[in-house]
Amino acid sequence: MIVIVDYGMGNLRSVEKAFLKVGIDATVTSSPLDIEDASAVVLPGVGAFRDCMRNLDNLNLLAPVLRSIEKGKPYLGICLGLQILFTESMEFGLCRGLGVIKGKVVRFPQMGLKIPHMGWNTVKLRRIPPVFDGIADESYFYFVHSYYVAPDKDEVIAGTTMYGIEFTSMIWKDNIIATQFHPEKSQQLGLSVLKGFGEFVRRA
Does residue 184 contact residue 197 with C-beta atoms inside 8 Å? no
- Decide if 184 is catalytic: yes
Measured distance CA(82)–CA(187) in Å, rounded: 20
**Which of 39, 43, 33, 35 has its CA nearest to residue 1?**
39
Which residues are bridge partners to 28 per DSSP? 4
- Decide if 117 is catalytic: no
Say which of 16, 91, 95, 184 is annotated catalytic: 184
- Is residue 23 helix, strand or coil? coil
Say which of 79, 91, 95, 117 is annotated catalytic: 79
DSSP code for 64: H
Measured distance CA(43)–CA(105) in Å, rounded: 17
Measured distance CA(30)–CA(91) in Å, rounded: 25
Say which of 52, 91, 145, 182 is annotated catalytic: 182
Measured distance CA(97)–CA(193) in Å, rounded: 25
Cis link prior to 116 (omega < 30° from 0)? yes
Task: Point out the residues that are catalytic.
Answer: 79, 182, 184
